[in-house]
Amino acid sequence: MGEHSDRRHFLAQATLLAGAMMVGSRARAQADQKLRCAVVGVGGMGGYGMDRALEELPVALCDADQNTLDGAVKRVTDAGHPVPRAYPDYRQMIEEMEGEIDVVLISSPDHQHAPCAVRAMNAGMHVFVQKPMGHNIRECYEMARIAGETGVLTQMGNQGHTGESLRRAIEYLQAGVIGGVYETHTILGRNFGGQGGVPEVKAPPANLHWDTWLGPAPYREYHDGLHPFSWRNWRDFGTGTIGDMACHNLDCLFFALKVAQAPTYTIECLNTTGGADGWWSQDNVVVYTIPARDDMPELKSYVYDHTGLVGGAMKQIAADSEMNLGEETYYLGGKGYYMTGGTASSARQLPIEGH
């Protein structure tokens, strides 16, 4: 991506492909056919996309890290599939394989989610994209609009959302097992971000297609603390702790307490550190005030980046309930307490003997 195009131009160009690329694959798979899958971002969370593609027919793989890409190709052939086509750049993959891909599974860094998904949808390819859906709210609205216009099937991956534990927790809370919930405390269990300027620049590793990895982000020279995981600390690439983890750990709360029915809400930042020179801020504590909606009372929802920020009252509730504070949400109701674990993988009424 030698032109180092900015994000707005990148998305605009992707959207303009609609007219030229709509003759792509359309719901080709039937009951006796395998879906032709492409996986974009085959390392890290891309392992999930690889697992699903291997159950179908992986025809294309894409990753800006050549070593990771080569390893994924070997995994496909070791599983007995034909050699997939391999690309460091999803733009080339989508253009060259129009009509040969049914679904694209996207697990790239956050800033690449929308540009890749938009191109795929405009090419008539169905899309599964890992959370967060986009790098900012505008991208999410654009993705939803284009999905509606193109008629493709789409889904955002969010661990735990389709699980039985989350469904059961929603039913319990809406049935009033702890009465009306007036306060919640959510620990996200991360502390992405930092301060102190950009690290010393250096040549990118030989296996990393650096311009392609940057994609639509503003150009910068390569430095430590980006690939393959810590890009989450930077505003140009990630979404901070809340953007990265709240979709997991506020998921049950959002649906169980009918937050979407509130026409407005307020948010106040109670604590934050760092955040200069392109880093996300750290040690964040925020409180959302959600007005009464349907049969739910006004809600104060406190969100902490990590356990070190939690106050004494919550520590006491956890101690009284024989719980160790971790990546959890605690619900305070008129008749008692409730807890859901990270991604709602566990749920219980508190104290434990009342569960």
What is the per-residue pLDDT across 308-329, written as a single tens digit (0 to 9) for each? 999 888 888 888 888 889 999 9
What digits encode the pLDDT tens for the residues 3-56? 444 444 444 444 433 333 333 344 444 445 899 999 999 999 999 999 999 999
Q: Which residue has the tokens 């605009």?
A: 12
Q: What stretch of H or E contains 31?
A: none
Chain centroid to Cα 12, Å, comes to: 23
What one-character DSSP code corresponds to residue 30?
-
CATH numeric code, 7-157: 3.40.50.720
Residues of the chain with CATH 3.30.360.10: 164-192+238-354
The class level of CATH for 164-192+238-354 reads: alpha beta
Q: How many CA atoms lie within 13 A of 79 on its CB side?
A: 18
What digits encode the pLDDT tens for the residues 254-285? 999 999 999 999 999 999 999 988 999 999 99
Residues of the chain with CATH 3.40.50.720: 7-157
Chain centroid to Cα 174, Å, comes to: 26
pTM: 0.88
Rounded Cα–Cα distance for residues 133 and 117 (Å): 9
